[in-house]
Structure 1
């Protein structure tokens, strides 16, 4: 892996979203133990983030991600990306996400994101932060 901030964020996407199983050992190498996430006004610490990812793996069978645009400035990465998921109940969800990631000591230490549901049911609006 290249040691740029965007390469780290891309690897986090792969580990956290795109692989069918959550590799918690690899996740711990990518995400700082002091990790904090703000997602649509909800705060998650590292433990909450892991619970959130476990919930996603249980609820969703296939997840796809398309980075529409990104900018990297030092240890900050901004992305605008689409997430599409096939839920295990047969429904589908599509979210547009705008996120700022901060990297420290070679790991993601924070994420501040806003999600906008493009397709799905009302109960899935908080899928970006539910745990």
Structure 2
């Protein structure tokens, strides 16, 4: 059973939110291999910006290079068959110490136990409006 199929079998919503928060945080901190979560044909559309799998890897690396810390808090989540949807808050701490909170509405399509497509819409909930660009930046 892989990371994604474990999420789909979780019936306790509080545990599901916690597991998804850990997954997203671990992914962006480099603690989880993207190959374990995303299909090679992965596509992500965030605020109208399209990334393929290699573009997403560049995005992860770019985000890591721009921040001191990152944490995800999943507020709401739902899973059904091949759909995973959540609303999460990303708290980013920049090297200078200031923070931003970005609210994300995410809709993921699942294929063969991995995420194959994500559509996201973001907004800066707290911090400078320019923080929103981090949600899709690749360098």
TM bucket (normalised to shorter chain) is 0.7 to 0.9
Count of matched residue positions in the alignment of Structure 1 and Structure 2: 127
RMSD value over aligned CA atoms? 2.2
Distance in structure 1 (CA, Å) of the matches to 2:25 and 2:129 = 27
Q: Runs ≥4 in structure 1, deviation > 3 angstroms?
A: 4-9
Distance in structure 1 (CA, Å) of the matches to 2:90 and 2:31 = 20
Q: How far apart are residue 12 of structure 1 and its match?
A: 4.1
The structure that is strand-richer by fraction is: 1
Q: How far apart are residue 122 of structure 1 and its match?
A: 3.1
Find the counterpart in structure 2 of residue 15 from structure 1. 26
Q: Does 1:86 align with 2:93?
A: yes
Q: 1:1-131 residue pairs with structure 2 within 5 A?
A: 3-6=5-8, 10=20, 12-17=23-28, 19=29, 22=30, 26-131=33-138
The structure that is helix-richer by fraction is: 2
Q: Which runs of 5+ in 2 are unaligned?
A: 11-15
Q: Which runs of 5+ in 1 are unaligned?
A: none
Q: How far apart are residue 5 of structure 1 and its match?
A: 4.7
